[in-house]
Chains A and B, each alone.
Chain A
Amino acid sequence: MKYSSEYRDPLLAKALIGAIHRAVSHYQGRITLMEVCGTHTMSIYQHGIRQLLPKAVRLISGPGCPVCVTPISYVDQALAYARRPETIVATFGDMVRVPGSTSNLQREKATGADVRIVYSPLDAVSIAAKNPDKAVVFLGVGFETTAPTVAGSLLTAQQRGLQNYFILCAHKTMLAPMAALTSDPELQVDGYICPAHVSAVIGSEAYRPLVERYAVPCVVTGFEPLDMLRGIQMLVQQVMAGEARVECEYRRIVKPAGNLKAQALLAQVFEPCAAEWRGLGVIPASGLRLRAAYQTFDAELALPLDVEPTKEHQGCCCGEILKGKLLPGACPLFRTLCTPEQPVGACMVSSEGTCAAEYKYGNV
């Protein structure tokens, strides 16, 4: 068992698709399911899942790509650090092409800025250890899956006595925006395909308050194609039966209470704060900031600098896309002015962004 290819068997996929079709064969209405995880978005496009579903089942993408929901002002801050002398900006690869108001990190790097792409925040700690005369600023972006790894890197830097490792923190949590979207009267979400690896940390039970308050079914789903189809089937069954429960399809990874050690790391290093989401605005208690005890690691406090004024990109509909209100095809810039080579909005940059996924895998 490799825990990947087994979950891609076309024969079993056909059976699951058949079961979904049968479940809604007499249903006149429409079931709208939202996925809030960029990896799900990619999987849906990559495997052509939309085209396999009956007309009654509609999939929409929510704000699940951490790069896409990061506001332009944050990118501008990162650019200001990249331009700061004696500073190394370390980041995951997704961030380097995200357009800020006037530039992006890749362009700054080409003109001499020290921008390092790392696979793990621990690699950024190693860079700090090797460059004691420079400040290393790690771009802390991502949800509950990534935030504990950044917490872990901070504690590692502390243990090693490093004083030149800083975090530009814009971590976000998933439940608050889900609640915000569920209560949006313009958006009718009948069920959530809950994120796979965020749930590995927070646990499937974390969705219970959402389910109880809004009576919206939540199914935690893995992102292999069979996982996706099974998750959709479970949601459709709940909707057809008029039920709203928390269910977990991805039990090989996700436990009801989640990963307690990762949660402890989060709670030790971060505390909740209001956060700005591209497209959704400021949502209370939807972000994470460093606790007072770790403020010496906070780039904003330890290395304050001026940031250029924010310029929004004209005509970009990323906000509506991130709320699931528009599909990429509806954006006038899609495929014309906005392409993966020349992205205008963040949704086109990250491979997990809805626009990039539609561009790569969608029907032309």
Chain B
Amino acid sequence: MVCLAQGAGDAEDAREDKLMCLAVPMKIAEIAAGTAICEVDGVRREASLMMLEEAAVGDYVLIHAGFALEKIDPFEAQKTLDLFREVLNAGGGPAF
């Protein structure tokens, strides 16, 4: 089985290597003057809110190149996870 662990350092990686395409989910901790301070795993980062209609402290957002690209919809996030569980429950075990 492959290693599906990755994670913890995503936010740091994106910051450290300054790569273009990495986008990471972070939680908004503070908002001031159109800029949010976001947080994940103890990493804090500034993000412009220029691209969002509205955002509040406590929202999870996807951060890309110093901008909050989109809000994460907690309801849809849960629905997707529920769907995975359905596949698990429907499956007759691994077929390989």
Q: Can you list, as one digit per residue, whether each of A80-95 has a CB less than 8 Å from chain B (1) or not (0)? A: 0000000000001110
Seen from chain A, the residues whose Cβ lies within 8 Å of a Cβ on chain B are: 1-19, 21-22, 25, 38-39, 46-49, 51-52, 54, 65-67, 92-94, 117-123, 141-142, 145-146, 148-149, 152, 197, 200-201, 225-227, 230, 233, 249-254, 259-262, 265, 350-352
A-B contact count (CB 8 A): 180
Q: Tell whether B65 is near chain A: CB-to-CB under 8 Å.
A: yes
Please tell me if the beta carbons of B66 and A18 are within 8 angstroms of each other in the complex. Answer: no
Question: Hey, which chain A residues are within 8 Å of B42, CB to CB?
Answer: none
Q: Can you list, as one digit per residue, whether each of B59-70 has a CB less than 8 Å from chain A (1) or not (0)? A: 010101111011
Please tell me if the beta carbons of B65 and A15 are within 8 angstroms of each other in the complex. Answer: no
What are 6 A-B contacts with C-beta separation under 8 Å? A47-B3, A94-B19, A141-B20, A146-B65, A197-B69, A259-B70
Residue of A nearest to B45 (CB): A119
Question: Hey, which chain B residues are within 8 Å of A120, CB to CB?
Answer: 65-67
- CA A122 to CA B83, docked complex, whole Å: 39
Q: A3-B60, A10-B1 are in contact. List 19 more A-B contacts (CB 8 A).
A: A3-B77, A4-B10, A4-B24, A5-B7, A8-B7, A9-B84, A12-B84, A13-B1, A19-B87, A21-B95, A22-B91, A122-B48, A122-B67, A148-B51, A152-B67, A197-B21, A197-B62, A227-B80, A252-B77
Residue from A46, A197, A261 in contact with B52 in the complex, judged by beta carbons closer than 8 Å = A261
Please tell me if the beta carbons of B6 and A197 are within 8 angstroms of each other in the complex. Answer: no
- CA A65 to CA B22, docked complex, whole Å: 12
Seen from chain B, the residues whose Cβ lies within 8 Å of a Cβ on chain A are: 1-7, 10, 14-15, 17-25, 40, 48, 50-53, 60, 62, 64-67, 69-70, 72-74, 76-81, 83-85, 87-88, 90-96
The 4 closest A-B pairs by CB, nearest first: A120-B66, A93-B18, A15-B88, A252-B77
Residue of A nearest to B49 (CB): A261
Q: A230-B84, A253-B72 are in contact. Are A15 and B91 (CB under 8 A)?
A: yes
Please tell me if the beta carbons of B80 and A252 are within 8 angstroms of each other in the complex. Answer: yes
Q: A4-B7, A93-B19, A119-B18 are in contact. Are A262 and B51 (CB under 8 A)?
A: yes
Question: Hey, which chain B residues are within 8 Å of A15, CB to CB?
Answer: 84, 87-88, 91, 94
Question: Hey, which chain A residues are within 8 Å of B3, CB to CB?
Answer: 47-48
Q: A12-B84, A46-B6, A261-B50 are in contact. Are A38 and B62 (CB under 8 A)?
A: no
Please tell me if the beta carbons of B94 and A225 are within 8 angstroms of each other in the complex. Answer: no
Residue of B nearest to A92 (CB): B20
Shortest Cβ gap from B47 to chain A (Å) = 8
Please tell me if the beta carbons of B50 and A152 are within 8 angstroms of each other in the complex. Answer: yes
Question: Hey, which chain A residues are within 8 Å of B74, CB to CB?
Answer: 1, 252
- CA A49 to CA B78, docked complex, whole Å: 24
Question: Hey, which chain B residues are within 8 Å of A16, CB to CB?
Answer: 84, 87
Please tell me if the beta carbons of A11 and B20 are within 8 angstroms of each other in the complex. Answer: no
Question: Hey, which chain A residues are within 8 Å of B52, CB to CB?
Answer: 261
Please tell me if the beta carbons of A18 and B23 are within 8 angstroms of each other in the complex. Answer: no
Question: Hey, which chain A residues are within 8 Å of B94, CB to CB?
Answer: 14-15, 17-18, 21
